[in-house]
Structure 1
Amino acid sequence: MSEQSFFIPKFFENNDYFIDEKVNYFKFGNTYNVFDKSGEQVGVINQKVTGWHKFLRLFLNKAMFPFLLEVHNMDNDLQVSIKRGWTFWMSKIVIVDSNDKTIGTIKQKFKFFKPTFIIENAEGKTIARITGDWKAWDFKINDANEKPIGTINKKWGGVMKEVFTRADKYYVAVNPDYTEIANKMTIVSCAITIDMVLKNNK
């Protein structure tokens, strides 16, 4: 599919995403609000957990469980889903668009607190890597040629410095010069859900 014919939802046209976890002590799933750099909410990320999965999580390691994350815009339109099947160790994560068409996959490597996410397109070609330190919450996003194209951290300024004051938030920034729009949707999907993916591997 050519860059010209590839449609990218408006949600993914942003280059700055501020992710804010909504704490809910009575649910097993997570919900995150997504804001742009002006402080306007642009979407929501929900973790879908079935009733019997909630029950089994009381007895089994949640790192084994399948998970489903859904990204919606403010009109509640599904933008993308990130899902994984049952696993015993670092299985492949699949990213699908709103038509349930696979647009990419994520492969994980984890060494102590330094995870690596290898992001591939639908054809299995590596398009980016996310590497960093989970404990320090400092990640770098590089393209397939190891050129920096973005960051994930807990550092921000401007209006969001006043809005985001708690630690359970993080900031995803994509280089505005990155023009591979067919890949951007897949890369951003991985980047904005990185906290949820890591928590499901604990």
Structure 2
Amino acid sequence: MDQLFYNGPPDYVEIEDRAITTEPGASIQAAPGAIWMEALPAIEGIPAGLEYLAYLDTVMVHQVKEVLEILTGWESKNKYAIRNKNGQQCYYAFEESNAWERQCCGSQRGFTMHIVDNFNKNVLIVKRELRCCADSFCGCLLGLQNICTIESLSTGLLGTVLQGYGCTNSFYNILDKDGNLIFLVDGQGCCTSCCCEDKDFTIKTPDSSVPIGSITKKWGGLLREAFTDADTFAVTFPIDLDVKLKAILLGATFLIDFVEFENNN
């Protein structure tokens, strides 16, 4: 990728006021009273459907849990509402996976995460292959375990996320479509699920120790943390970061959720 940053979206300061309050996508589910972002015009150089990201420096990813899953523990397909920091929804994500893998393989299962806009148009696909127990063990020995790819429906592959292991914690390498290392995401140690606090995964460029953003798992409270694996993440990055890189970091959030926090499977 030629550069990490661009000149910024036109009139981005006005985006927070542009919203609709009814659900336009026929098959997208929204919480009562949800505020939906309206469609945005195309922006040159930005993959179709990712225009929202050009105006954002923070994305909130809220996992949606069904009552039946909470009561029975039967693992259903993961679903997420993706909003800006003001609570306006711009995307919805839903998992496509094998039912047998969900129940038997839990957090190691393969999946395809479809990210659609509020008009039910596919804009991103996050893919991860099934990791069996043997693969996981060998991956730990080799220092590399989980891999996911992020694709745009309009332009193809955007990048890849690789999980590796250090002495005490995991980490994530973020690669662009050509395989170049663009970000390092510092993982947590062995106690990602303990302590009543947020969990930060800092985002750095390979040549700097200064964070440019983070993927933060927000503490949900004792009851929520104890009885469900419904997580909320805040993804922060510079507003002028290349939109394709913002999309890759958004995709990395789903891999981090599965690897680090799917504890009830």
TM-score between the two structures when normalised by the length of structure 2: 0.60
Give the drift of 1:172: 1.3
With over 3 angstroms needed to count, the CA separation of the structure-2 counterparts of 1:139 and 1:91, relative to structure 1, is: closer
With over 3 angstroms needed to count, the CA separation of the structure-2 counterparts of 1:197 and 1:32, relative to structure 1, is: farther
Query: Match for 1:6 among 45, 50, 58?
Result: 45
Give the corresponding residue for 2:95.
Answer: 47
Q: Which has the higher strand share?
A: 1
**Mapped contact 1:82–1:95 kept (Cα < 8 A):** yes
Give the drift of 1:126: 0.5
Instruction: Give CA-to-partner distance per residue, 1:41-68, whole Å, 9 cap, x none.
Output: 111111112xxx213443x333543211
Unaligned ranges ≥5, structure 1: 157-165
Unaligned ranges ≥5, structure 2: 7-43, 137-144, 226-230
**Mapped contact 1:128–1:187 kept (Cα < 8 A):** no
**Mapped contact 1:105–1:120 kept (Cα < 8 A):** yes
Give the corresponding residue for 1:18.
Answer: 60
Q: Which has the higher helix share?
A: 2
Give 1:120-199 correspondences, 5 Å limit. Answer: 120-133=175-188, 134-135=192-193, 137-146=199-208, 147-154=210-217, 168-176=231-239, 178-191=240-253, 194-199=256-261
Tell whether 2:118 aligns with 1:118: no
Give the corresponding residue for 2:115.
Answer: 71
Partners of 2:178 and 2:106 in 1: how far apart? Answer: 30
Give the drift of 1:120: 0.3
**Mapped contact 1:33–1:43 kept (Cα < 8 A):** yes
**Structure with greater Cα Rg:** 2
TM-score between the two structures when normalised by the length of structure 1: 0.77
**Paired positions, count:** 189
Partners of 1:108 and 1:154 in 2: how far apart? Answer: 17
